[in-house]
């Protein structure tokens, strides 16, 4: 059997990751921390797996190019909102993380509406920001799941994630303002 027969396998994995979002949210809201932690890990592994399959076996699709970042953003935004609601992280951090993504999406939509489409490419600061956001969310979930102390790292990581989120927002906002001014 040829691996190309599974051309949609990365897309199926991505769709499953999207379907895990409400499951994780429900687990966090119910304070089922261990389950939420393990489902979050499964979602992370699925993200790596679909990307690896798509690249290794040349199974990239236009749908996958749209679905993968959508699934990633849906997962991160939902996790941060849920952790904020559960008082596991400051609500202001959840609002900041979500606001950055809404700002970027809003900027793309406004540019398109004004017939000035703009291509959004992941910036280095954005990749660092996303990595920090994922690491922080996983750490908070893990600490809640296994009763680890957060005393030494929680507030420093909160401020680091907030600073990176603001820096990433600014890195997109500046070029967007210049683009729209022309």
CATH number for the domain harbouring residue 111: 1.20.120.1760
CA dist., res. 28 & res. 21, Å (int) = 11
Q: What are phi and psi of 5, to 5 degrees?
A: -65, -15
CA dist., res. 169 & res. 64, Å (int) = 25
* 177, containing H or E segment: helix 154-181
Q: Indicate whether this model's pTM tops 0.75.
A: yes
At 125, list the tokens: 């600061």
pLDDT (tens digit per residue) in 100-115: 999 999 999 999 999 9
For CA atoms 93, 25, 37, 151, give the dihedral sign.
positive
Domain that holds residue 91: 3-181
Helices 62-85, 33-56: axis angle to 10 degrees equals 160
Q: What average pLDDT does the chain have?
A: 93
Averaged pLDDT for residues 26-51: 96
How many of the other CB atoms lie within 10 Å of CB of 149? 8
Q: How many domains does the chain have?
A: 1
pLDDT (tens digit per residue) in 125-139: 999 999 999 999 999
pLDDT at 122: 86
Is pLDDT above 90 for 8? no
Q: Is 58 helix (H, G, I), strand (E, B) or coil?
A: coil
Percent of the chain with pLDDT over 90: 85
CA dist., res. 165 & res. 128, Å (int) = 9
**pLDDT bucket at 121, cuts 50 / 70 / 90:** confident
**pLDDT bucket at 6, cuts 50 / 70 / 90:** low
**pLDDT bucket at 62, cuts 50 / 70 / 90:** confident
């Amino acid at each position: 059997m040829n691996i190309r027969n599974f051309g949609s396998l990365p897309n199926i994995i991505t769709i499953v990751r999207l379907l895990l979002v409400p499951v994780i949210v429900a687990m966090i809201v119910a304070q089922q921390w261990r389950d939420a932690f393990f489902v979050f890990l499964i979602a992370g592994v699925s993200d790596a797996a679909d990307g690896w399959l798509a690249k290794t076996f040349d199974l990239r699709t236009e749908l996958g190019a749209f679905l993968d970042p959508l699934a990633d953003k849906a997962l991160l935004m939902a996790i941060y909102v849920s952790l904020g609601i559960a008082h596991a992280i400051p609500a202001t951090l959840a609002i900041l993380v979500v606001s950055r993504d809404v700002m970027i999406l809003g900027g793309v939509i406004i540019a398109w509406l004004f017939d000035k489409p703009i291509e959004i490419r992941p910036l280095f600061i954005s990749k660092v920001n996303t990595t920090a956001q994922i690491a922080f969310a996983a750490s908070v979930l893990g600490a809640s799941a296994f009763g680890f102390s957060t005393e030494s790292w929680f507030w420093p990581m909160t401020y680091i994630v907030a600073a990176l989120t603001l820096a990433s927002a600014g890195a997109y906002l500046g070029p967007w303002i210049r683009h729209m001014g022309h």
